[in-house]
């Protein structure tokens, strides 16, 4: 499913649907809400089954949040492949669930932990300052809350990049919390990762502390449980993040173009930042607990698609590929999740503005992945390499594509259907193109770049 048309996909948990969602580029939430999009996944599964061999695994080559992998997993052995760790974690948790072996909620364990107590004490000045900002906003004074959302960053403070517009009150709260972190030897510790990097811009400081405490429990778990526990954290993070659309591309802009506070700021901030992390973790634990166990030997692999295909020695029944097609670099939308899974201390990318070097507004990882499919000069070579590599392993290939209608305001694609088909025919003797129409719930006959509905999926089927 393409990046834009996979927006607001759902997965069903135990016959119940739970709001979460994924979108590239609009929003991402690890366990998605379904509707017509899960039916779309089912129809893609049907297309895969028409060309897949009788034996072997289905390879989901750009697995993302695992929608297709999960839809396929009750029929076939699935190998989910993605270059990002957050994807490997999610796919592992979905394809190989622990269910009844999960044990108590890690939120309750974290609440009673020494890590939580130490972090809560350290960040208390910022927590109190944020509470005052919210109170003032409720009384009509929005500027302190805008200042908090725009400038409250312990990471910026520690790297000498605090904005000159930061208020004296916020600066003091940041400095006091930073000093307390040093007293507890947490200033550079992984235990304070979320608080230092993302507290303020993406989460309230209370939420950030709770997320760090939960993350400590998850990462300390045995390897057999860690992926599922981390997936629970990722789902919680996606529920609680305070951004427009619940994505991680950039924090909220609390002021309009004239520099005035936005009128709806208080409502959104209160809604998102008042969500309790420990309780949300408990709710997601129960949802993951409903996932059915599987006896199939599913695997989730973190790998570049080229490396995986080059080294693949598996019996492969078919390969499904859903690479990105626009110049949007989708890793901007998942960088927070990636950092939470890796739990490292990444360098943050910078930008230049008015002759000054500033931290990127979204605090993006400097090493975040840039897909060649998103770069105009590299996209043709990337597709050619994809087709060559899959042909070498002797498997059919289904490529998902979302049509582009310029008059509909969609993001321009870097490749047309004709060009993709032309490259595919260099390697495969049979290449057909089918469209999946959401409204009609059926396959159309062969088409090549004819006008289709913007809510359609196009499958390039290569055998």
User: Among 223, 235, 390, which Cα is nearest to 306's?
Assistant: 390
Task: Indicate whether 199 and 321 sit together in one domain.
Answer: no
Residue 437 tokens, joined: 């129409």
Task: Indicate whether 171 and 245 sit together in one domain.
Answer: yes
Task: Indicate whether 375 and 253 sit together in one domain.
Answer: no
Instruction: Please tell me the predicted confidence (pLDDT) of residue 451.
Output: 41
Task: Indicate whether 46 and 147 sit together in one domain.
Answer: no
We report the CATH number of the domain holding residue 21 as 3.40.50.150
CB neighbour class for 88 (10 Å; exposed up to 12, middle 13-18, buried from 19)? buried
Three-state SS letters, the chain: CCCCCCCCCCCEECCEECCCCECCCCCECCCCCCCHHHHHHHHHHHHHHHHCCCCCEEEECCCCCCHHHHHHHCCCCEEEEECCHHHHHHHHHHHCCCHHHCCCCHHHHHHCCHHHHHHHHHCHHHHHHHHHHHHHHHCCCCHHHHHHHHHCCHHHHHCCCCCCCCCHHHHHHHHHHHHHHHHCCCCCCHHHHHHHHHECCCECHHHHHHHHHHHHHHHCCCHHHHHHHHHHHHHHHHHHCCCHHHCCCCCCCCECCCCCECCCHHHHHHHHHCCCHHHHHHHHHHHHHCCCCCCCCCEEEECCHHHHHHHCCCCEEEEEECCCCECCCHHHHCHHHHHHHHCCCCCECEEEECCEEEECCCCCECCCCCCHHHCCCCHHHHHHHHHHHHHHCCCCEEEEECCCCHHHCCCCECCCHHHHHHHHCCCCCCEEEEEEECCCCEECCCCCCCCCCCCEEEEEEEC
Mean pLDDT of 205-233: 95
pLDDT score of 409 more than 60 = no
**184 touches 205 (CB < 8 A):** no
Task: Indicate whether 87 and 111 sit together in one domain.
Answer: no
Mind listing the pLDDT tens digit for each residue in 420-460? 999 999 999 999 998 875 433 333 333 333 344 444 678 99
Task: Indicate whether 302 and 451 sit together in one domain.
Answer: yes
State yes or no: cis peptide before 25, omega within 30 of 0.
yes
Residue 389 inside a domain? The answer is yes
Least confident window among 26-40, 64-78, 446-460: 26-40
How far, in Å, CA of 70 to CA of 75, rounded?
A: 10
Tell me which range, 6-10, 103-107, 204-208, is most confidently predicted by mean pLDDT: 204-208
How far, in Å, CA of 294 to CA of 98, rounded?
A: 10
Instruction: Please tell me the predicted confidence (pLDDT) of residue 327.
Output: 54
Residue 354 inside a domain? The answer is no
Task: Indicate whether 64 and 176 sit together in one domain.
Answer: no
Count of domains forming the chain = 2
> β-pairing, 431-437 with 356-359?
unpaired
Instruction: Please tell me the predicted confidence (pLDDT) of residue 5.
Output: 34
Task: Indicate whether 39 and 22 sit together in one domain.
Answer: yes
Domain boundary among 237, 266, 289: 289
Residue 453 inside a domain? The answer is yes
Mind listing the pLDDT tens digit for each residue in 259-289? 999 877 778 888 899 999 999 999 999 899 8
* CA angle (49, 50, 54) in 5-degree steps: 60
Q: Residue 365 pairs with which residues in a beta bridge?
A: 348
Residue 344 inside a domain? The answer is no
pLDDT score of 388 more than 50 = yes
Instruction: Please tell me the predicted confidence (pLDDT) of residue 192.
Output: 98
- Band the pLDDT of 8: cuts 50, 70, 90: very low
- Its pTM stands at 0.85
Distances (CA, A) of 191 to 174, 215, 325: 18, 8, 37
pLDDT score of 301 more than 70 = yes
Residue 350 inside a domain? The answer is no
Domain boundary among 289, 321, 343: 289
Task: Indicate whether 82 and 17 sit together in one domain.
Answer: yes
Is the pLDDT higher at 153 or at 403?
Answer: 153
Domain boundary among 289, 313, 341: 289
Residue 346 inside a domain? The answer is no
Task: Indicate whether 229 and 264 sit together in one domain.
Answer: yes
pLDDT score of 88 more than 90 = yes
**461 touches 51 (CB < 8 A):** yes
Task: Indicate whether 252 and 299 sit together in one domain.
Answer: no
Give the whole-number percent of the chain exceeding pLDDT 90. Answer: 54
Task: Indicate whether 232 and 374 sit together in one domain.
Answer: no
**Placement of tokens 């999740």 in the chain:** 337
Residue 265 CB: number of other CB atoms within 10 A?
18
pLDDT score of 11 more than 50 = no
Mind listing the pLDDT tens digit for each residue in 348-383? 888 877 777 888 888 988 887 778 887 888 888 999
How far, in Å, CA of 371 to CA of 6, rounded?
A: 18
How far, in Å, CA of 234 to CA of 215, rounded?
A: 10
Query: What's CA 439's distance to the chain center, in Å?
Result: 27
Domain containing residue 308: 12-97+295-329+370-462
Residue 34 inside a domain? The answer is yes
**7 touches 22 (CB < 8 A):** yes
Residue 357 inside a domain? The answer is no
User: Among 380, 393, 369, which Cα is nearest to 88's?
Assistant: 369
Instruction: Please tell me the predicted confidence (pLDDT) of residue 194.
Output: 98
How far, in Å, CA of 183 to CA of 451, rounded?
A: 64
Mean pLDDT of 171-196: 97
Mean pLDDT of 201-230: 95
**239 touches 22 (CB < 8 A):** no
HSE-CB of 250 using CA atoms within 13 angstroms: 9
Mean pLDDT of the chain: 83
């Amino acid at each position: 499913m393409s990046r834009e048309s996979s927006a607001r996909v759902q997965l069903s948990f135990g016959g119940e649907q739970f709001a979460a969602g994924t979108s590239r580029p609009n929003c991402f939430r690890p366990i998605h809400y379904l509707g017509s999009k899960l039916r779309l996944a089912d129809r893609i599964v049907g297309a895969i089954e028409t060309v897949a061999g009788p034996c072997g695994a289905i390879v989901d080559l750009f697995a993302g949040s695992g929608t297709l992998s999960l839809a396929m997993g009750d029929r076939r052995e699935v190998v989910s492949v993605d270059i990002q760790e957050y994807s490997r974690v999610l796919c592992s948790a979905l394809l190989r669930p622990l269910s009844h072996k999960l044990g108590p909620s890690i939120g309750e364990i974290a609440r009673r932990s020494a890590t939580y107590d130490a972090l809560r004490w350290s960040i208390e000045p910022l927590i109190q300052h944020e509470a005052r900002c919210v109170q003032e906003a409720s009384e009509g004074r929005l500027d302190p809350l805008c200042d908090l959302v725009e400038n409250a960053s312990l990471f910026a403070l520690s790297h000498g990049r605090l904005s000159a517009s930061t208020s004296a009150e916020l600066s003091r709260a940041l400095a006091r919390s930073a000093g307390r972190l040093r007293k507890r030897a947490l200033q550079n510790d992984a235990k304070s990762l979320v608080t230092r990097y993302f507290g303020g811009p993406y989460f309230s400081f209370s939420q950030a502390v709770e997320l760090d405490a939960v993350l400590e429990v998850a990462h300390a778990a045995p390897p057999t449980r860690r992926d599922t526990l981390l997936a629970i954290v990722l789902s919680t993070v996606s529920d609680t993040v305070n951004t427009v659309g619940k994505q991680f591309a950039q924090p909220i802009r609390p002021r309009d173009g004239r520099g005035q506070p936005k009128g709806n700021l208080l409502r959104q901030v209160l809604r998102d930042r008042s969500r309790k992390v420990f309780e949300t973790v408990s709710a997601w634990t129960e949802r993951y607990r409903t996932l059915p166990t599987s006896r199939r030997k599913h695997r989730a692999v973190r790998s570049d698609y080229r490396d995986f295909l080059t080294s693949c020695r598996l019996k492969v029944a078919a390969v499904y590929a859903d690479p990105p097609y626009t110049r949007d670099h989708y890793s901007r939308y998942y960088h927070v999740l990636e950092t939470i899974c890796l739990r490292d201390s990444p360098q943050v990318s910078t930008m230049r503005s008015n002759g000054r070097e500033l931290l990127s507004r979204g605090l993006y990882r400097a090493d975040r992945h840039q897909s060649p499919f998103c770069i105009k000069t590299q996209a043709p070579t990337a597709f050619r390499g994809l087709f060559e590599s899959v042909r070498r392993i002797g498997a059919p290939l289904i490529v998902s594509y979302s049509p582009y209608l310029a008059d509909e305001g969609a993001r321009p694609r870097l490749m047309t259907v004709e060009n993709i088909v032309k490259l595919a025919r260099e390697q495969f003797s049979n290449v057909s193109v089918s469209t999946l129409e959401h409204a009609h719930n059926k396959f159309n006959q062969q088409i090549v770049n004819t006008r289709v509905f913007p809510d359609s999926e196009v499958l390039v089927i290569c055998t």
